[in-house]
Amino acid sequence: MPTPDGPGDLLVVGAGVIGLATAWRVAARGATVTVADPAPGSGACHVAAGMLTPVSEVTYGEEPLLRLGLASRDRYPAFVAELEEVSGRRTGYRGDGVLQVAFDSDDLAFLEELRRFQQSLGLTVEALSGRECRRLEPMLAPSVRGGLLAAEDGSIDPRRLTAALLAAVEKEGVRIVRRRATHLLVEHDRAAGVRLEDGEELRADMVLLAAGAWSSDLQGLPEGVVPQVRPVKGQVLRLRSKIPFLERTTRGVVRGSSIYLVPREDGELVVGATQEEMGFDTTVTAGGLWQLLRDARELLPGVTELEFTEVSAGLRPGSPDNAPVLGASALPGLFLATGHFRNGVLLTPITADVMAEILVDGTVPPEAAPFTADRFAGEARA
Ligand code: GLY
């Protein structure tokens, strides 16, 4: 709660990219900030590939989310420059375009429809023949039928991003408490802090819930204050190449199913992702890996020659309408930055900026207005 003396204290529950970036921005505005998380950076951002693809992943009926995603993508260069300077760490940010390719003629028809939709929204995408796709990415299979290039989409390495954010918040004086927050403390009808797993209480003027898929789990949340956030599992595998395998992030549609491959400068290639509504299950399954490898090999036969390094499964936080929930809750003192679903990494810069404005100035910037929690009034439950 802003006071005449400056911003009040902030306690952030969750040290993923959303919680850390918001802590960084708010601490830079002069607030005393504490972040509680038993394992900072170990949630969805540890598994995420880090695509910055508002154009490539635009979805029917989600135009407000597209605008938020475009605005966040466009903040990335300045956000990364500042973060890398402050933290002294690289983030692996790339803004060099994303190619989307079609495996068969039905997939090509899907991309053609997508291009019409993108262009109807004023988005810039270039339609490419199969040969033009292979000129950009020589490892693509000769059978690839064609594609779309979204020249302004890009990627970042979420693990490096998290490490840089942790370094930046520590430089800003943010206290990181490596314990789980289990209960919300409510006093005089407002949030007053949290109780940790060992019983210690952390008190603050404002509590920000940024706990990803675990955001509905805090005990003591009054009924109806936090929209249900569900975990949506994604299995991802990591490969390594000694020589550059892909020039840029390449998405594919293979017999109607989507796959993406995100190359890093150090030779890592991240292949993702399944999308499964399985509750809090992070089992890696043979079927999930088979689906990813099968589709990756259809598009890029040479992928089977690469070194296998890691497989993991993460939990995306899905709100009831799959869009983020940003701003005040119905409980005074409790704020929400959660429900980012497939877009947590993309939406990190804008979430941090709008949340800082909401928490420090007490005003809701126009970008955040479509995403406030009151859109679920009547259906929200803790
Ligand atoms: N943003 C890509 C995914 O969630 O799989």
Dump the DSSP string for 207-228: EEE--GGGTT--BTPPTTSS--
What domains can you pick out in the chain, each with its CATH number?
A: 1-95+154-228+319-382 (3.50.50.60), 98-151+230-318 (3.30.9.10)
| Cβ of 234 less than 6 Å from ligand 1 | yes
Q: What is the pLDDT of residue 380?
A: 45
Q: Which residue positions in the chain have pLDDT lower than 50? A: 2, 4, 380-382
Q: Are 236 and 282 in contact (CB under 8 A)?
A: no
Distance 364 CA to ligand 1 centre (A): 27
Q: What is the pLDDT of residue 6?
A: 59
Distance 191 CA to ligand 1 centre (A): 32
137-174: pLDDT as tens digits: 999 999 999 999 999 999 999 999 999 999 999 999 99
Q: Alpha-carbon distance 59 to 126, whole Å?
A: 18
Token match 């109807």: residue?
Answer: 120
| Cβ of 345 less than 6 Å from ligand 1 | no
User: Quick one: 88 exposed, middle or buried, by C-beta within 10 A (0-12, 13-18, 19+)?
Assistant: exposed
CA proximity to 288, closest of 304, 310, 272: 272
Q: Whose CA is nearest to atom 4 of ligand 1?
A: 342
| Cβ of 273 less than 6 Å from ligand 1 | yes
Q: What is the pLDDT of residue 5?
A: 55
Largest Cα separation within the chain, whole Å, is 67
Q: What is the pLDDT of residue 328?
A: 97
Q: What integer best gives the mean pLDDT of the chain? A: 96
User: Quick one: 141 exposed, middle or buried, by C-beta within 10 A (0-12, 13-18, 19+)?
Assistant: middle
Q: What is the pLDDT of residue 177?
A: 98
Q: Alpha-carbon distance 333 to 240, whole Å?
A: 46
| Cβ of 25 less than 6 Å from ligand 1 | no
